């Protein structure tokens, strides 16, 4: 083989080796580029999904919901205030009804206290506490009843003083003996009857 042929063969071999090396380098670069592209695409997909979700979420949010919620809250407050007002009115009506009933009772008592039976009734009530009477006891009656009741009470309870008490409105008497107080006034009887009536009827009034 001539020297020239040998040189040609060596040149061809180098070209072949360089071509293989270039091909390997090219494949490596393309593979890396492909992996990078896939990573970029994957990240872009995640970002796109997130953006889509945020857009859908905004679209699904009712822009009037806040106003509706405030309207419902306001309506609830107004209804609660209306119920409270109606409750007050109902209690007021109940009170008027009860007051009307007991006003009639008071009118009947006003007629009763002008009869002789009233004087006898007060004296008998005080005599029920005769065993508790001590020297210096005091019987209190309405100022307008003092002249009528004093003689009968002093006779029934000797030694007791009969005095006027402006706090007694409807009639009857109080007996103060020692440290004890016996309230036999019609005022106390009316209060007791009113309380019992409300209890039996299950009513609450103001």
Question: Which run of H or of E encompasses 175?
Answer: strand 172-177
pLDDT digits (tens, 9 = 90+) for 128-181: 998 888 888 999 999 999 999 999 999 999 989 999 999 999 999 999 998 899
Say yes or no to pLDDT of 55 above 70: no
CA distances from 66 to 61, 91, 112, 174 (A): 10, 38, 69, 68
Tell which wins on pLDDT, 92 or 188. 188
Q: Where are the alpha helices (DSSP H) in the chain?
A: 3-60, 65-112, 116-127, 146-156, 186-201
> What is the pLDDT averaged over residues 6-32?
50
Question: CA angle 13-17-19, nearest 5°?
Answer: 115
Residue 172: the pLDDT is 95
- The pTM of this model reads 0.54
Lowest mean per-residue pLDDT among 62-76, 105-119, 185-199: 62-76
């Amino acid at each position: 083989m001539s020297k020239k042929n040998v040189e040609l063969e060596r040149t061809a071999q180098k070209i072949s080796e360089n071509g293989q090396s270039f091909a390997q380098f090219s494949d490596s670069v393309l593979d890396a580029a492909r992996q990078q592209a896939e990573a970029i695409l994957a990240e872009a997909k995640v970002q796109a999904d997130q953006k889509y979700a945020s857009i859908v979420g905004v679209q699904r949010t009712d822009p009037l919901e806040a106003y509706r919620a405030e309207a419902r809250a306001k309506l609830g407050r107004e209804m609660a205030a209306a119920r409270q007002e109606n409750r007050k009115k109902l209690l007021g009506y109940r009170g008027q009804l009860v007051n009307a009933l007991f006003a009639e009772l008071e009118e009947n008592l006003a007629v009763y206290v002008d009869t002789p039976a009233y004087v006898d009734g007060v004296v008998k009530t005080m005599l029920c506490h005769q065993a508790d009477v001590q020297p210096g006891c005091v019987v209190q009656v309405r100022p307008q009843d003092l002249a009528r009741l004093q003689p009968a009470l002093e006779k029934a309870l000797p030694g007791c003083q009969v005095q006027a008490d402006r706090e007694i409105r409807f009639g009857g008497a109080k007996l103060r003996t020692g440290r004890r107080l016996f309230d036999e006034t019609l005022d106390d009887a009316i209060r007791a009857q009113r309380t019992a009536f409300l209890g039996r009827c299950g009513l609450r009034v103001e």
